[in-house]
Amino acid sequence: MERRSFLKFSAALSGASMVPSFVFAKDLNKSLVKTGKVKTAAHWGVLEVETKNGKIVSSKSALNVSPYPNPLQNYTKDLVENSRVKHVYVRKSYLANPDSPKPELRGTEEFVKVKYEDAIKLVAKELKKTRKAFGSQGVFAGSYGWKSSGNVHNSRILLHRFMNMSGGFVGSTGDYSTGASQIIMPHVVGSIEVYEQQSSWNDVLANSEVVVLWGANPYSTLKISWTSNEEEAQKYLESLKNSGKQIYMIDPYLNETGRYFGDKIKWIPIRPNTDVSMMLAMCYYLYTTNNYDKDFIENYTYGFDKFVPYLTGKVDGVVKDAKWASKICGVDAKIIESLAKTFKDHKTMLMSGWGMQRADHGEQPHWTLVTLASMIGQIGLPGGGFGLSYHYSGGGTPTAKGGIIGGINAGSIGNYDENGKFLGLAKSDFESKGTGQSWLQKATNYSFPLARIADALLNPGKVIDHNGEKITYPKIDFIYWVGGNPLVHHQDTNTMVKAFRKPRTIVVNESYWTPTAKMADIVFPATTQYERNDITMVGDYSNMYIAPMKQIVEKVADSKDDYQIFTDLCKAYADGLAEVYTDGGKDEFDFIKEYYDGARKQVLAISDLGVEMKEFNEWWESNEPVKFNSTMESDSWVRFADFREDPILNALGTPSGLIEIYSQDIEKMAYDDCKAHPTWFEPAEWLGMAKKPAKFHMMSVHPNDRLHSQLNQTSLRDKYAIANREPLLIRSDDAKEIGVKDGDLVRVFNERGEVLAGVKIYDNLAKNVIVLREGAWYDPLDPTKKSICKNGCANVLTIDKPTSKLANGNISHTALVNIEKYTQKAPKLTAFEAPKGV
Ligand code: PGD
């Protein structure tokens, strides 16, 4: 026995009872704490929630690590109580005749309360009907969204599990967050890069001399994580603030991070969507002053020689110098050049967010940034290079050594005979028995890039280009959505509304009357995560904790867990299906224990870990997260260090094994909107365009006081809403020009739509730039026609166009808008109210 384990063992024996705890495992205590303090976890952190007589009184961080407050942690009560879908509802015409359900009335017609069992039967029947008529590709269940934390009640995977086992569906590829970068980056650095661990924050703090926040707002976005937030990165951010390093923010908007850093950050305002021109000019300056790392370019990159003729204007007659860039991006030419020199001559970490790739030609900014970083030549060195995920889910927080829990999976393919009899799950994807293999083939062929959803619904059969392939849109006649809010998150809401009126059936599981739930035919009331038990990792990159997610309150009204809903759908769909769906009848605790025990097994196998994981029942009862520690290696880990050390042995996943400044693969695609090297393209709408359709560039950045649309219905909104609408940030001189002032209600509009917003004067914006944050619930004044959104949903104004044929990402940050004072009587806000009939 190793020394440390031996000591631990003897310590256990020397405890008061003299009996090691694992000898008598306690029964699992599943009871609810009606009055007391309970720990759970959400995207916004591990929480301690206080209850009294079964009701939530307060909630706050249970970790208390972050140096600044995270208000998202304090509204659990509202999340349980406000805007809830309490019963099962079916849209009136759908209920009357599901074969001819008048889809054009979706979102306008009243709902009818029905019995849960009847709705289950209805959905199973109509799903079967759709599959028979249109094949598995007639059913769309891509169902993108941020859902809730938890590895058991993972709504999207639970839906996919049901759809896989019951006979197939068509899904989507990519996401809204990094649609452009996750397609271009594999061509450039051989991995998607955006979701990769970053050089450790310790490394940055110890070794970087200059840190650049290029279109990133970590103060805000680090408040949330995909799993749950371990709050460590906020500490590092504070250390960076106080580090005395040169810190720059290149951004049209001095965001929350900029304000938090105060005079410790130098803000370089830039015109939205023009960063590529500035980066190219920096490359040009380094090239022409002969101050770039030739050795790095020579040994670690491919195709620089084919990029240079574009840079110098040999190809198109346009020299990409600072004067040229300055006219486009609005940053003084001298500043562009001096920044290039500073970055080259100092150890510089270029930290970029994802907002600038959510724009027209969004493939270009990160590709150009990597090219610039290659010329600087510090990639793979301590403190240098670039990072595309410091702002997200605690990127750069050193990875801990410990156990990793499993999670519910999307299951295998269900095989059915020609009469619809369930034959069991396919043993492999290639098994030819039954229907399984043929639908898998179809589903693979028809999957399309997520941000093309409205286009796909409106244009079945249309063929699009995507990353060197052709994709044919399927004819979608049935949509099932859980864990997302597409009527808020997708661009050009008015077109999306039209698209959502195309299929015959739309089913949604939701906890709240979101705009998406209001646009459904059948709405199942889903429990919130606070009404069920679950388990999660905390820290997406750090894997720092395993946290229990204890149920806090009873299930509200008729709410059911998604797991329950899909299990019941399985029962109604085919004999024997529920049995495999539930893996032989497992409940949430069976899964939680299985995932925990899996991690515990890993931990027990590591001899020198120094962390004990209790036996499951005891751990659950203790209601404390297990914490793992980082290692010496992860503390000082440097991204690309192995590549730098040996680019042949540790080649990148690109065709050349090197960083590709020129891509022959992309060259072969011959796209006019994405060339084989980083290129400046004019966006569809921008402030420098010849005939501007509107005066202001709208940035629909991620909210500081929400997670996308989540929490919009809570009283946290009272703290930021202006005139009871989403705030619109505008400079005082811009406001003066159009005759509006702080607190005014304004109409924001363009050819795509119009919204109401409340004016908040904010001077740290580039000229003619306004901010209207994404995520306000769409609330049309008259849902029967294209009408003004009363709450200020930014996507009513954005463009539904792909970034390019390469990635087909969304371009939500490319939009010009006009603004005028709203002089009519302010209409009543109904965003958070239940629809007609409820
Ligand atoms: P959320 O508000 O998180 O937004 O879009 P996304 O759809 O992810 O929606 C999650 C929904 O899931 C909520 O309605 C919530 O109630 C529901 N939900 C949560 N837990 C559960 C559950 O357990 N079961 C069920 N059934 N439902 C649940 C976000 C998307 O927006 C993203 S990721 C990005 S990056 C994009 N960003 C922008 C942007 O920058 N600018 C604009 N204009 N638009 C964007 N849209 C995109």
**Do 213 and 250 fall into the same domain?**
yes
Tens of pLDDT, residue by residue over 183-219, are 999 999 999 999 999 999 999 999 999 999 999 999 9
Residue among 44, 83, 176 to mutate when testing ligand 1 (max atoms within 8 A of CB): 176
Instruction: List strands edge to edge, sheet with 545-549.
Output: 534-538, 545-549, 626-627
Average pLDDT, stretch 177-185?
97
Residues 6+ apart with CB under 8 A from 503: 103, 140, 457, 476, 477, 478, 479
Residue 836 confidence (pLDDT) above 90: yes
- What is the spatial distance between Cα 50 and Cα 463, in angstroms, rounded to a whole number? 54
Q: Identify whether 776 is part of a domain.
A: yes
Binding residue ranges:
146, 358, 485, 489, 532, 562, 795
How far is the centre of ligand 1, averaged over its atoms, from the C-alpha of 488 (Å)? 8
Output the pTM of the full model. 0.95
**Do 458 and 373 fall into the same domain?**
no
- Lookup: tokens for 640: 């690309």
**Do 93 and 201 fall into the same domain?**
no
Average pLDDT, stretch 351-369?
98
CATH of the domain at 282: 3.40.228.10
Q: Identify whether 482 is part of a domain.
A: yes
Q: What pLDDT, on a 0 to 100 scale, did the predictor assign at position 21? A: 40
Q: What pLDDT, on a 0 to 100 scale, did the predictor assign at position 5? A: 38
Average pLDDT, stretch 802-831?
98
708 CA closest ligand 1 atom index: 2
Q: What pLDDT, on a 0 to 100 scale, did the predictor assign at position 431? A: 67
Residue 346 confidence (pLDDT) above 60: yes
Q: What pLDDT, on a 0 to 100 scale, did the predictor assign at position 670? A: 98
Q: Identify whether 831 is part of a domain.
A: no
DSSP string of 98-143, one letter each residue: TTS--GGGTTTSPEEEE-HHHHHHHHHHHHHHHHHHH-GGGEE---
DSSP state of 353: -
Residue 428 confidence (pLDDT) above 80: no
Residue-number span of the structural domain to which 707 is assigned: 696-821
Q: What pLDDT, on a 0 to 100 scale, did the predictor assign at position 418? A: 86
How far is the centre of ligand 1, averaged over its atoms, from the C-alpha of 148 (Å)? 10
Residues 6+ apart with CB under 8 A from 208: 245, 347, 348, 349, 383, 384
Residues 6+ apart with CB under 8 A from 108: 783, 784
Cα torsion 33, 37, 39, 41: sign:
positive
Mean pLDDT estimate for the chain: 95
- Lookup: tokens for 225: 């994580």
DSSP string of 211-274, one letter each residue: EEEES--HHHHTT--SS----HHHHHHHHHHTS--EEEEESSB--HHHHHHGGGSEEE---TT-
Residue ranges around ligand 1 (CB below 6 Å): 145-148, 153, 155, 176-177, 358, 482-485, 489, 509-512, 514, 526, 529, 562, 700, 702, 707-710, 774-775, 794-795, 798, 812
- What is the spatial distance between Cα 617 and Cα 243, in angstroms, rounded to a whole number? 45
Average pLDDT, stretch 651-668?
98
Residue among 157, 698, 774, 816 to mutate when testing ligand 1 (max atoms within 8 A of CB): 774
Q: Identify whether the C-beta of residue 472 lies closer than 8 Å to the C-beta of residue 448.
A: no
Q: How many residues does the chain have?
A: 838
Q: Identify whether the C-beta of residue 466 lies closer than 8 Å to the C-beta of residue 447.
A: no
Residue 775 confidence (pLDDT) above 50: yes
How far is the centre of ligand 1, averaged over its atoms, from the C-alpha of 485 (Å)? 5
Average pLDDT, stretch 270-291?
98
Residue 433 confidence (pLDDT) above 80: no
* Cα angle 457-493-698, degrees, rounded to a multiple of 5: 135
Per the rule left: phi > 0, alpha: psi between -120 and 50, beta: everything else, 539 is left
Amino acid in position 37? K
Residue 146 is among the residues annotated as catalytic for this protein: yes
Q: What pLDDT, on a 0 to 100 scale, did the predictor assign at position 2? A: 38
The model's confidence at residue 569, banded by pLDDT at 50, 70 and 90, is very high
Residue having the nearest C-alpha atom to atom 27 of ligand 1: 483
The model's confidence at residue 432, banded by pLDDT at 50, 70 and 90, is low
**Do 316 and 390 fall into the same domain?**
yes
Average pLDDT, stretch 613-637?
97
Q: Identify whether 151 is part of a domain.
A: yes
Q: Identify whether 30 is part of a domain.
A: no
**Do 374 and 265 fall into the same domain?**
yes
**Do 573 and 640 fall into the same domain?**
no
Q: Identify whether 71 is part of a domain.
A: no
- What is the spatial distance between Cα 336 and Cα 732, in angstroms, rounded to a whole number? 27
**Do 247 and 377 fall into the same domain?**
yes
Q: Identify whether 499 is part of a domain.
A: yes
**Do 159 and 195 fall into the same domain?**
no
**Do 591 and 618 fall into the same domain?**
yes
Residue 14 confidence (pLDDT) above 60: no
Q: Identify whether the C-beta of residue 680 lies closer than 8 Å to the C-beta of residue 276.
A: yes
**Do 610 and 571 fall into the same domain?**
yes
Per the structure, how many domains does the chain have? 3
Q: What pLDDT, on a 0 to 100 scale, did the predictor assign at position 430? A: 62
- What is the spatial distance between Cα 693 and Cα 683, in angstroms, rounded to a whole number? 13
- What is the spatial distance between Cα 179 and Cα 452, in angstroms, rounded to a whole number? 11
* Cα angle 436-133-102, degrees, rounded to a multiple of 5: 135
**% pLDDT > 70, the chain:** 96
CATH of the domain at 781: 2.40.40.20
- What is the spatial distance between Cα 108 and Cα 784, in angstroms, rounded to a whole number? 6
**% pLDDT > 90, the chain:** 93
The model's confidence at residue 6, banded by pLDDT at 50, 70 and 90, is very low
Q: Identify whether the C-beta of residue 410 lies closer than 8 Å to the C-beta of residue 141.
A: no
Q: Identify whether 35 is part of a domain.
A: no
**Do 198 and 113 fall into the same domain?**
no
**Do 496 and 585 fall into the same domain?**
yes
Measured CA to CA in angstroms, residue 749 lies from 728, 787, 829 at distances of: 13, 11, 18
Per DSSP (E only), the strands in 473-601 are 478-482, 505-510, 522-525, 534-538, 545-549
CATH of the domain at 474: 3.40.50.740
Residue having the nearest C-alpha atom to atom 2 of ligand 1: 709
Residue among 708, 773, 811, 813 to mutate when testing ligand 1 (max atoms within 8 A of CB): 708
- Lookup: tokens for 802: 């792909």
Pairing of strands 400-401, 629-630: antiparallel
Per DSSP (E only), the strands in 542-667 are 545-549, 626-627, 629-630, 659-660
DSSP state of 526: B
